Homo-oligomer: A and B are copies of this chain.
């Protein structure tokens, strides 16, 4: 039976060229995380559903991929029981696929609390799975790159996250703007307009201002039951102009009656002072409409946008004061951000910012022109590999044209012809496939010759 092969919708294969580009991003991100003392962990793809359920809201629960119990999953199910589909699912599935890296991280910290030293700084780069409706740029399996510190309330952590964002995007050559807000300011705002219980409604509405404009936000606030007076308190906050310092001064005045709001302003002021002293190059902007996954952030909120490419945020995060409480370890404050690898890939691709030199291709392909010639090629290739160079020998003795084409398609820069003449000369004829230049090179000079080429490439 012949099957036409395919993969599940919303999933992807990564070929060699895509892998090199993806790893270019991951390697830069990892290096920066390590530069600040963060260390890598991995958690299992499968978590108990009890760990995952209820952590992502009702909608999130629906998007979890559930894994059928192994063995006879249905043996204990009473099908006459009139169960809901959801109840049935929970009877036959105990495990689910990781939905994000934050909840598994919280689970990890609680489970291993006695082995860890706090503050615990970790990064994690692994795929997550969501049963979202697949669409352009949205996948059912995708990588997240998270960096978090837990067990410290110091705003130095917030500064260092900003410094990491700066360093990552500077290395990637992407111009960005960093937006910062503080959940306590939003709480204060809800308080002083007399609607502390409408915090979520207010922030959901003002978060949309970039998309729908001020008037529509005001309409939405009215729909949610805010009266004209409340809206007139919020409106000037949304249209605040001036430097970050100006904004801080104005919002401090406005929020003076609110204790939590004042605390938020203080935190923002300390952080912006740290940022100013640390000489951060990208624009950092206090954006009082920024909310993001408000449900668990309790302090700083971050978002990073690419300046020269139209796409959503490419990095974001914030502080959460009680992430591990749900697993039995209360009062552990943490702060972290997540880099969106797929969107960063799209930005680099769209702006043509991926470097040209494909480091994983071999530097030279040796020809295969018969048994004796092959033996010689094996021996020369061995020298190169022991010197740390990547090379290939064409495995079959076919037409040279076919061998050339192979090198070309794999972007191998050099083709080494090894025939009878070269063997008797103890040399190879090295042809650069880009320029067509060709010269006879003594075997003993081959490593240094190719190394010189590679060093030249990496300087480009």
Chain A positions within 8 Å of B, measured between CB atoms, are 1-8, 11-16, 19-20, 23, 34-37, 39-48, 50-51, 62-63, 65-68, 70-75, 79-80, 85, 88-89, 92-95, 97, 107-108, 110-112, 115-117, 119, 121-122, 127, 129, 131, 140-141, 149, 152-154, 156-157, 159-160, 163, 167, 274, 277-279, 326-328, 360-362, 365, 368, 374-375, 378-379, 382, 385, 388-393, 395-396, 405-406, 409-410, 412
Q: Given the interface contacts A5-B107, A68-B67, does A141 sit within 8 Å of B13 by beta carbon?
A: no
CB of A437 to closest CB in B, whole Å: 22
CB of A147 to closest CB in B, whole Å: 13
Q: Given the interface contacts A46-B129, A328-B4, A360-B34, does A41 sit within 8 Å of B65 by beta carbon?
A: no
Q: 15 extra interchain contacts, Cβ-Cβ under 8 A, other than A3-B50, A7-B111?
A: A4-B327, A6-B51, A7-B47, A14-B43, A15-B115, A19-B39, A36-B391, A37-B412, A45-B127, A68-B68, A71-B131, A74-B85, A117-B409, A157-B395, A277-B378
In the bound complex, CA of A122 to CA of B388 (Å): 19
Q: Enumerate the 9 nearest inter-chain pairs by beta-carbon distance, A residue then B residue, closest first.
A: A37-B392, A70-B131, A11-B44, A16-B39, A154-B395, A79-B79, A117-B409, A37-B362, A14-B42
A-B contact pairs, 22 of them (CB 8 A): A3-B50, A3-B51, A5-B111, A8-B44, A8-B95, A12-B44, A15-B112, A16-B41, A16-B122, A34-B362, A35-B388, A36-B362, A39-B360, A40-B360, A45-B45, A45-B141, A46-B140, A65-B67, A68-B92, A70-B131, A149-B395, A160-B393
CB of A151 to closest CB in B, whole Å: 9
B16, A40: Cβ atoms closer than 8 Å:
yes
Q: How many copies are assembled?
A: 2
In the bound complex, CA of A347 to CA of B3 (Å): 41
Closest to A81 in B: B79
Q: Given the interface contacts A15-B41, A141-B45, A390-B37, does A65 sit within 8 Å of B73 by beta carbon?
A: no
Which one of B66, B277, B379 lies within 8 Å of A68 (CB-CB)? B66
B residues less than 8 Å from A43 (CB atoms): 7, 13-14
B73, A89: Cβ atoms closer than 8 Å:
yes
CB of A407 to closest CB in B, whole Å: 10
CB of A167 to closest CB in B, whole Å: 7
In the bound complex, CA of A4 to CA of B391 (Å): 52
B residues less than 8 Å from A92 (CB atoms): 68
